[in-house]
Structure 1
Amino acid sequence: LERAVIRDATLDQCVMARARMRGADLTGASLKGAVLELADMERCLLLRCDASGASFAGARMAKCYLEGGVYSKSQWRGSGLTASLQGAVLTSVDMHGGDLSGVDLSGSD
């Protein structure tokens, strides 16, 4: 899935654990309840996605753009995240043990 363009796709409940998704564009995708644990998602675009209840536990998410997305009740335990989450909805998100250095949370809820 490296550099794949999967815009506005419905990927609810999809299991993509350990997927290599560097540079993939999932703008506007629905990822409700998706499993992206330990995925390599460096430089991914997840703009305006709905990833409510998704699990990104242990995922590598350096230089990602997750602006305007809904990540309510999602899991980010132990993930490496240097990303822009401007305007994102982060209600009840679990980021325990994650590396959040370089995260931009401007305008997020």
Structure 2
Amino acid sequence: MKIDNPISITDQAAEEVKNILSQKKVPEGYSLRIGIKGGGGCGGAAFSLGFDTKKETDIEYITKDIPVLIDKRQMLFLIDLEVDFEDRRDERGFVFNKVTAQ
């Protein structure tokens, strides 16, 4: 199934993903997997990023020249998510923001 960008990736996050792909020598055929993990308890679900190959239950699309995979069962929780990358003095990493329509 092909879908138009249910998740956005900022320029900073896209640049960092591309750096990881080249520096960590992620094998060809792998895509960026965006998903959720957890869901139980008070903390709720947490968003996750990784690199993986396409599975039968995945939706696949390309944004900013990055192939992205999302499990169909998780799509409802991920629509309107923005993946960003912050590089601060004390911390650096990917952050996830829910984007709401204005």
TM over 0.5: no
TM-score (norm 2): 0.23
Q: Considering only CA atoms, is the larger Rg found in Structure 1 or Structure 2?
A: 2
Name the structure where helix makes up a greater proportion of residues. Answer: 2
Q: Comparing both structures, which one devotes a greater share of its residues to strand?
A: 2
TM, length-normalised to structure 1: 0.23
